[in-house]
Structure formats: structure tokens, C-alpha cells
Chains A and B, each alone.
Chain A
Amino acid sequence: MTALTAPARPGRDASPRPVPWRRMAWVTWRQHRIALAGVATLLGAWALYLWLAGSSAYHAYAAAIACHPASSIACGEILNEFDYAYGDPALHAAVLLQVVPALIGAFTGAPVLARELESGTFRYAWTLPFGRWRWALAKLVLLAVALVVAAEAFSLLFSWFFQPFLADGHDTPFAPELFDLRGVGFAAWTLAAFAIGALAGLLIRRVVAAIAATLAAYAGLAFAAGLYLRQHYAAPLLTRAPDVPGSAWVMSQWWTKGGRFAFGHPSNDLLMRLCPSPGPYKRPQASVAQCLAPHGYTQWTSYQPVSRFWPFQWIEGGWLLALSALLIAATIWLVRRRAA
């Protein structure tokens, strides 16, 4: 080590212009390309499955609805067979897909800051002239946009895949395992998981712990939204009609007599007395309503009609977007002011 190359003379700018934003594109790609490749692999494998399963399901569905006459027992059998062969696996796939936004968000979001803090490299990255809050903003926004685009594309494929199972109107798209996979829900939940992960990574400063915390926080939020929050996006409709369509999301049902609450479900005693059964089969709801109506009983149903699917999607997507923006803004603010 005898020859020592010397750097050229430094420039003397009094007020330097900021380093251009576009420079972060390569940096972000270089540092997170493995995580992004993982996301592409996960979504790609699922997309391949949905495409193959969807293609054959569409084929079978076309055959089932081509059956004439549609009300015949034979045609009913074919539809039942279709539901059994294709509908159940599709629902299982939907249940499994619930964890995908959480995994994507946790494994891409949590390491963005946690890995820098854990390994000490933030001391390098954050003292370069690009500036640390701009560094955090550029990274988080670029990754968030990439994830949202990928998630939304995947969600469109899933919507196509699941369409035959909703087409007959017997099932509701509000089902908790479906609602957050279609429309804008999937992308919004992925974004939320990513934003949770970024903030958790900054606060916890350990990659593995931050991923675990992100998964836990996401699960809490997803359950709270599905079980308690979503039904309040709009006041439910109330109807006395005995046959609410299967595509509606039924909140609750009860019976009144003389304008006063009678019971939630008619008791077996009451049914035996007022509606003597013609056979051993359980009677459909409409006929129970028909036989109890002359005795002064009225069935009430509160429900969200299927026409509210998109308003509900936008409401949920909207608050998740706002929450994510807030979490990312908080992360950047903490990066800017926080002690290292």
C-alpha cells in the first residue's frame, strides 16, 4: 500500500441543491429486490393456481348453466356437483389467501428500517447527503406503490376466479373471507400491513420481532374490521319481506307480534303447534314466515344489500389508505427527529 490515490478538490457550494429524488429508485430496488422477488413468487404461484383452477371452473360452470330446463332436478344436481367440486376448494383458497397481505406487508415493510437499525447501517445511509427523511420517504413510497400495484393486479385475477361462485346470487360477497380479497380491499390491506411493518421496524429495531409484531397487529386489525367495524359502514336496511336475497349480508333477524319483540327464532314448540310439518324435512324460511304470518307474527331482517359492495369497498379502502398514510408519515417524522 504505497501508492495513495488522492481525491480531487472538494467543491464549495454554500447551499447545495438536494440530491435528486430519482436516485433512490436504484437504491430501493437494489436493497429490496429479494423481498420484491419473494412477493412476486408468492403472488405468482397463487396466480398460476387461480388461473388453472379458474379456467376449469369456468368451463364446468358454463356446462352447468347451459343445462335445460334449469329448474329440473337433473340440472340442480349438476349445479350442486359444480358447487361441491369447485366452490368448496375456491372457498378454501380464499381462507388461505387471508394471510397473504399480512405476509407481504410484514416481510417487506418491517425490514426497511429494522434491518438498518439492527445492523447499524443507518449510520451510513442517514449521514449521506440525500438526507434521512427523504431517504425514508422515497423508500417507503416506492415500495408501497409497487406492492399496491402487484396486490391490485392479483386481486383482479381473484375477482375473475371467484365470479362463477357469486353469479347465482346465493352467496354474499360480504363474506369475511371474500370481502378483503376483491375490489380494492386486497391492495388496501397489503398497504396497511406494509405501513404497520415499517413503523414497527422503526420502533422495535429488530427484524424478526418487528415481523412478529406486524403480523399480530395486522391480525388484530383485520379481525376488528371484519367482526365489528365493517357492518357499521352504513346503517343496515330493515325489511319485513320473508325472502331476503342470498347475496345480501344479513345482520340479524327477529320476530314481532303486535308491534312488540316476540323472539329471535321461533321455538320448536311454536312451530309444531302453528305449522304442523308435512314431512321430516326442515322447511324453508319463507314458508315458516308464511305460516306464522296469519297468527300475527312478523319476521324482520336487517341487512346490507349487495348493491353496497362497492361503497363498502371504498369506505374500507379509504380508511385503510388514510391509516397507512398516517403510519408512514409517523415513521418518516420519527426518522427525522428520532435519536439514533
Chain B
Amino acid sequence: MNVIETNGLGKRYGGTWALRECTLAVPTGHVAALVGPNGAGKTTLLNLAVGLAPPTAGAVTVLGGQPAGSSAALDGIAFVAQDTPLYQNLPAADLLHLTRNLSRRFDQPYARARLDELGIPLNRKAGKLSGGQQAQLALTLALARRPRLLVLDEPVAMLDPVARHDFMATVLAATAADGVSVLLSSHVLAELERVADYLILLARGQVQVTGRVDDLLAARHLASLEALALSYLREDPAEVTR
């Protein structure tokens, strides 16, 4: 089963193609890293995958053929958008209750225990939390929904190194504990090194390469994800000048 599968997927905003002829399939059970320079189309691809935007061309399905944005797809996917937009004026407890009300499943004991571990008071408003705590709260809300696929858009871009490490540790724990597949975008390659075992490399709205990290590294005789990504990006003449 593929957690995400796209076929000739394209998205145009105005006259600009943010994503073009994107065809890929990510099998279940991976932590897939969506990598590329700013403006490569990472957020666009994720928005299409979670059904926030309709495609201009092609098709995208998730979780073994469910149309993106369908009821079954929303049920199995938890999405943490860029900059973790939470209702800033709601206390953590109300965010839990809101999410529980709008979801079919919600693991309230897990969410409460997790916030307790993180030292996030239930009566603290989201807007009063630190960036790292907000990210952890958003991740807790997402995992408490017991998703089969966790989609994270630039989850650590705004976080300090400690918060990055803690956030990624939570993600890895979830994948190890119950096989949640993960699709996360980032331009911080170093952070993905330890976690990602599947790579989707985007540049200028097009897929440059996609596959298992181990296979790709072996094919190019490279040792790190960062070197791998750079080796592909440097082939693209437009990227060399950056």
C-alpha cells in the first residue's frame, strides 16, 4: 500500500506552476522526507495531499487509493501545517476538546499524559506557549488522533536545536511504536539525516528524484542525505547559481 501516490499531479497559482507533472508513490511504513529549496513546491504538494487545495492537473490519492481530502483520507491523516497554526486564544485543554469533537477517534489519555510529560499546562493558552511547546502541542494533537499517516510541513524550521531534537524524537517514537507513516517537508537537511529513510527531492516544481535513501546513497556512493540532495540539486543548472 502507498501512503501517497500522485500521477501527473500539477498545481498552478495564477500563471505560475507551483508543481508540475509530479508522479511518485511512497510505500507505507516510511519516514519520507520532502526536500527542496524554498519555492520548490513542497508546501503545494502537501496541501494537495491533505486536500486543502484541488489539483490543476493529474490526481493524488492517499492511504491506498483514497482521494485526497475525502472523509476516509482526513480520518487517517493528521496534518501539522507550517508554523503550526493553532487557535492562539484557546487553552491547551480546549484545543484537545475541539480536536476530539471534530475527529472520529481521539486518544484523550495519551494527549493528557503527553502534555504532562512536556510540562504544558492544560489551562495555558496556545499563544502563551513557546515555539517548541506549540510545535509539541500540535504534534500531540495530531498523534492523539491515531493517524496512519502524519504529514508535517516544515515542522522544525522555526525551532531551536533542542526543540528540534525533542520534536523529532516524538515523531520517531510514534513511528516505532505503531508504524505511523510520516511525510515531512524540510529544507533543514541535517535534521532529516537521522530520521528519513525515503526521499522525495523537489526543485522548481518538479520531482528530481524519489526513492529509498539507502538505495539512492548506494547508487551514488554517497554517505549522507545532505550530500545526496546536493548532488542532485547541483545537476540542475538553475540551482548551481544559488
Contact = CB atoms under 8 A, between A and B. Distances in A.
Interface of A: 1, 3-19, 23-24, 26-27, 30-31, 119-121, 123-131, 135, 337, 339-340
Interface stretch (B33-41, B71-79, B212-220): B71-79
B94 interface: yes
Given A10-B105, A16-B104, A19-B103, A31 B87 contact: yes
A9 B110 CA distance: 12
B178 interface: yes
17 contacts: A1-B166, A6-B110, A7-B107, A8-B107, A10-B178, A16-B71, A16-B72, A16-B104, A19-B101, A19-B102, A23-B101, A27-B101, A30-B90, A31-B87, A127-B50, A129-B102, A340-B53
B166 to A, nearest CB: 5
A130 B102 CA distance: 5
A27 B101 CA distance: 7
A127 B76 CA distance: 10
A17 B104 contact: yes
A9 B103 contact: no
A14 B147 contact: no
A5 B117 contact: yes
Interface stretch (B167-175, B185-193, B200-208, B221-229): B167-175
B105 A131 contact: no
Interface string B42-54: 0000010011111
A15 B114 CA distance: 29
Contact of B169 (A4, A127, A339): A4
Given A7-B178, A27-B101, A15 B87 contact: no
Contact of B86 (A124, A128, A135, A337): A124
A43 B147 CA distance: 45
A26 B97 contact: yes
Nearest to B70: A131
Contacts of A119: 85, 87-88
A7 B110 contact: yes
A129 B146 contact: no
A262 B7 CA distance: 79
Contact of A14 (B13, B72, B138): B72
B177 to A, nearest CB: 3
B146 A127 contact: no
**Nearest 4 interchain pairs by C-beta:** A6-B177, A120-B85, A123-B81, A4-B173
Contacts, number: 130
Contacts of A135: 102
B113 interface: yes
B12 to A, nearest CB: 10
Contacts of B118: 1
Contacts of B113: 5
Nearest to B148: A10
A31 B88 CA distance: 11
B99 interface: yes
Contacts of A129: 71, 74-75, 102-104, 145
B119 to A, nearest CB: 9
A126 B69 CA distance: 9
A123 B50 CA distance: 9
Contacts of A120: 81, 83, 85
A23 B102 CA distance: 7
B183 interface: no
Contacts of B178: 6-10
B158 interface: no
Contacts of B180: 10
Contacts of A13: 72, 75, 104
B169 A126 contact: no
A10 B76 contact: yes
Contacts of B145: 128-129
Contacts of B79: 123-124, 127
B199 interface: no
Contact of B81 (A11, A19, A124): A124
B209 interface: no
A125 B47 CA distance: 14
Give the one of B50, B71, B114 with max A CB within 10 A. Answer: B71
Given A15-B72, A16-B104, A19-B104, A7 B146 contact: yes
A126 B51 CA distance: 9
Contact of A128 (B13, B99, B170): B99
A127 B85 CA distance: 12
A111 to B, nearest CB: 12
Nearest to A120: B85
Give the one of A8, A126, A127 with max B CB within 10 A. Answer: A127
A10 B98 CA distance: 20
